[in-house]
Structure 1
Amino acid sequence: MSEPATISPSIIETLYEDALLLADEARAAFDFSDRFEVTDIDASNARVAMSCEALRTTTRMMHAVAWLLNQKAYFAGEITEFQLRHHGRLPPPQPEADPEQRAMMAPYIVDLVDRSAAFYARIQRLDRAWRDRFELRPAAVHRLRERLGYAFG
């Protein structure tokens, strides 16, 4: 089994640019102040659904951007690896929208939400792979104890 590729500055820069584009697209898509005339219950419910999804999507993207900025700061030498491990954690993903609320949204909004969730999952996989480097597995600890026991026993 091959070892996964490490995160490099070029990967982070590319992902950062993608995140900014997706965040800007989300901002434009959810800037809907004049799109709904709240005259009935359906329009009111659709507005609430859009507001909830706007909050989830923009929060998701801002967490991704913050994680990427921490990575950029690390590669620029502005923070240490310890600081990155300690303060650069990626929060858990936002919950998915209720299917009934999703059905009220335009297809392009649903597509944008799905793309932002896929982007976040990609960042999560990178974060998990990077953090796995620092976790001691119980088997590794036991092997180390055995080697120390043989060396000093």
Structure 2
Amino acid sequence: MYTGFKHLHSTIALVLLIVFAVVLVIHIIGYMTSADYSKGHRVSSLIGLIAAHLQLLVGLGLYFMSPLGISNLSGETMKDSMGRLYALEHPLIGIIAIALITVGYSRAKRAAASRQKYATITVFYALGLVLILSRIPWQTWALIN
């Protein structure tokens, strides 16, 4: 089960990165062209939000069943950069990133002007993406090895 969750978490991560790249491009183009914010734009940002939350749920499950997760938290782990990444930094920064993405989606939904919706999604989703990219364990990611 643990191996399945690891592979699922890696696969969803790849999907999430692709979805966020597409959503950001769509919203940047919409902002630059001053296009009306359509249902398609809203759906694309919703797909990004759903992918992020799905990744969070799978990641939390993995965090509690992994030997590198919560069971590994100790003073010794904090001295080891990879142990600290898995036990603290990766999950904490992921939660913060997904909170930013959620706030961005909610603010964009309430915004009145199309340009404001585009700008809100672009800023919050880009911040979330940068945080996610900063804490991916690239050297051990299953899709690279």
TM-score, shorter chain, exceeding 0.5: no
TM-score of the aligned structures, taking structure 1 as reference length: 0.42
Larger radius of gyration: 1
TM-score of the aligned structures, taking structure 2 as reference length: 0.44
